[in-house]
Amino acid sequence: MSQVPMELLFYCRPGFERDLAEEVADKAGEAGWSGEAFHAAGGGFVRFRLAGDEPANGLHRALPLRSLVFARQSLVALSPLSLSREDRLSPILEQLAESGWSFESVWQETPDTNDGKALAGLTKALSRPLESLLAKRGALRRKAGGRRLHLLWSAGDRVQLGISFPGNRSELPGGIRRLRFPQSAPSRSTLKLEEAWHEFVPRPEWDERLAEGMQAADLGAAPGGWTWQLVHRGMHVYAIDNGPMNKALMATGQVEHLREDGFVWEPPYRLDWLVCDIVDRPARVEAMVERWLVRRWCREAVFNLKLPMKRRWPEVAACLQRLEEALARVGVAAEIGCRHLNHDREEVTVHVRLLE
């Protein structure tokens, strides 16, 4: 009998399993699906097991990865396997044969934890024999719709098999975007804005949407990591912060530093970009950005919501709902995205683009 995938498997930053589980349960419920989330604190992944007997593919399509905040990767998955250390491959091959899956590539992954990193030797040793057996059986082949098999090893004797589809997955191993720190940037925070652009602005549109000569505001700018990114793209920046800005950045002549309160400062004319990394209550930051967007003071915005509280998902959901409703009320059409990025710690990044 062929095995029907009844689960979705999501990767996340360790420590954010509960947030992701609550998010998925809420969104699945809204889409008319019921099921149960399973996770271990600090494990780095969440399983969502469906209650009915329909394959999980429908829910996977109903919850695109880009619409989820806390998920780094999203897979349609089979039940987890417990293996004996003497013969790990046979049960994997058996489960795959029952699933009838075929795919073009195989990725062995581990959670983003220290225990996960310790499994690197094992996955490396298994990769050749596994791939050659899968190719022999015709499961690993060319022209399989771009599908990819993922093996998530949570221990040396525990693995879960999942499959991903082009257009609804992260193309990065572990769903983690690693970026090189630019040596001349004044703070490591710089990578948060760069990652946000990779996440929310398709690469072919960078020259148009992140263009030389654009005007931007950076609220809570000091010492200038985010301003550095804007300047690097050739923009002119109003840097709003009481704190000191990096001297080399000021010497570019592209930055006007204003020691004002970011929550009350208003731009002199319509800008292209608003970015904000102020550490304050999420509701306060959302209300301020909402004012900018309702008045169309910028075309696009990237801002972080800091989440020091225990239950992060309800806080994020409430902020996003307020923003959506406020824009809808005044008839401002916008694309809104929110993701927990690799360079984010206890915070998430929101992107808004007004659509004219």
Q: State the catalytic residues.
A: 306
Which H/E stretch holds residue 258? strand 255-258
Q: In the complex, what is the shortest distance from the CB of residue 349 to ligand SAM, in angstroms, rounded to a whole number?
A: 12
H, E, C per residue of 135-161: HHCCCECCCCCCCEEEEEEEECCEEEE
For residues 89-111, b (16+ Cβ closer than 10 Å) or e, as one string?
eeebeebbeebebbbeebbbbbb
The amino acid present at 241, given as its one-letter code, is: D
Q: In the complex, what is the shortest distance from the CB of residue 82 to ligand SAM, in angstroms, rounded to a whole number?
A: 44
Please choose, from the candidates 297, 239, 304, the residue with its C-alpha nearest in 3D space to the C-alpha of residue 276: 304
CA dist 167 and 151 (Å) reads 19
| Nearer to ligand SAM (CB atom), residue 111 or residue 262 | 262
| Nearer to ligand SAM (CB atom), residue 14 or residue 224 | 224
CA dist 239 and 248 (Å) reads 14
Q: In the complex, what is the shortest distance from the CB of residue 269 to ligand SAM, in angstroms, rounded to a whole number?
A: 20
Tokens (6 digits) for 109: 């992954």
Q: Is 49 helix (H, G, I), strand (E, B) or coil?
A: strand
Which residue ranges make up the site for ligand SAM (CB under 6 A)?
186-187, 189-190, 219-226, 240-243, 261-263, 277-279
Q: Is 88 helix (H, G, I), strand (E, B) or coil?
A: coil
| Nearer to ligand SAM (CB atom), residue 78 or residue 278 | 278
| Nearer to ligand SAM (CB atom), residue 174 or residue 262 | 262
| Nearer to ligand SAM (CB atom), residue 160 or residue 342 | 342
Q: In the complex, what is the shortest distance from the CB of residue 237 to ligand SAM, in angstroms, rounded to a whole number?
A: 12
Q: In the complex, what is the shortest distance from the CB of residue 112 to ligand SAM, in angstroms, rounded to a whole number?
A: 23
| Nearer to ligand SAM (CB atom), residue 111 or residue 225 | 225
Q: In the complex, what is the shortest distance from the CB of residue 188 to ligand SAM, in angstroms, rounded to a whole number?
A: 8
CA trace torsion 234, 178, 24, 328 (10° rounding)? 0
CA dist 178 and 316 (Å) reads 24
For 6, residues 6+ apart whose C-beta sits below 8 A from its C-beta are 49, 50, 53, 55, 56, 79
